[in-house]
Amino acid sequence: MNGGSYLIKETEKISVLNYNENRVSIVVAPDKSYSFDPSDDGITPCVIPMTMDEIRYANNSGAFKNGVLFFDSKREQDVYESLNITNWKEILKNDDIKDIILNPTYEKLIKLISIKDSAVFERVRAVYQKIRNDDTYDVSVRVEQIIKTRCKELLNRQINTSIILTKKDIPEKASSDEVDLLKEQNKAMQEQLEKMQKMMEQMMFSNASESAVLEPETKRSAGRPKKTQ
């Protein structure tokens, strides 16, 4: 749709979504506020319908431009544009942050260290902490260092980061062709090992058989030798 608040009726209810696994409260009028329950899994949001007047008032807190709360995808463009949030497509969702942490690339980490709002980076820290607590995924030492360093910078009111990224610091994922080649190499190596193992077993069996045959020929009976006449 082409954006514009004229597409939204003032009385229309817009679904506002909380994907965070913690409670979020916002003031929507001088004497009114809403409290969003936490999302149980970070996937299914808590939803509260709000009017545009309430959304505009709540926007003073930065909850929408910071990505704390989101809108129904069918209406998000119109709502964001009516709030003059022009970079709304760049707002990181929690899934985006998780992807950056678990699948880091140079371009993705640039987005992370370019965050200049401590409230936004608090979401990064929360997602990172949840991943660590789950103990299911491995987070690279480099990514952990970046998150901790940028968090300290923002706490110290350092808007522009001192972190310097180089492409060699972040290993890119292997291409599908490289993955297929590695699989073929591993398969060939496994077959070669199995073949060598069978050859060794055959050699050991052959040596054991020869020993069993030769042993009676070299064995002497005990006792004194017989006298000759």
Q: What distance in Å separates the CA atoms of residue 138 and residue 127, rounded to the nearest whole number?
A: 14
Banded pLDDT at 4 (limits 50, 70, 90): very low
**Is residue 220 in a domain?**
no
Cα–Cα distances in Å, from 45 out to 16, 59, 89, 140, 166? 9, 19, 19, 29, 37
112 in the same domain as 54: no
- Residue that finishes a domain, picked among 88, 105, 134: 88
pTM score: 0.67
Parent domain of 38: 5-88
Kindly tell me if the per-residue pLDDT of 184 is higher than 50.
Answer: yes
Q: What distance in Å separates the CA atoms of residue 68 and residue 39, rounded to the nearest whole number?
A: 12
Which of 75-84, 150-159, 172-181, 193-202 bottoms out in mean pLDDT, i.e. has the lowest? 172-181
Q: What distance in Å separates the CA atoms of residue 80 and residue 88, rounded to the nearest whole number?
A: 7
Q: State how many domains the chain has.
A: 2
**Is residue 98 in a domain?**
yes
176-202 burial code (b ≥16 CB/10 A, e <16): eeeeeeeeeeeeeeeeeeeeeeeeeee
Once rounded to an integer, what is the mean pLDDT over residues 61-75? 92
Q: State the average pLDDT for the chain.
A: 82
120 in the same domain as 150: yes
- Residue that finishes a domain, picked among 138, 169, 200: 169
- Residue that finishes a domain, picked among 46, 62, 88: 88
Bridge partners, 71 (sequence order): 16
In the chain, what percentage of residues exceed pLDDT 90? 52
100 in the same domain as 84: no
Q: What distance in Å separates the CA atoms of residue 34 and residue 17, rounded to the nearest whole number?
A: 12
Please report which residue ranges of the chain form alpha helices under DSSP H. Answer: 52-58, 76-82, 94-102, 106-113, 118-134, 141-155, 176-218
**Is residue 218 in a domain?**
no
Q: Calculate helix-pair angle for 118-134, 141-155, nearest 10 degrees.
A: 150
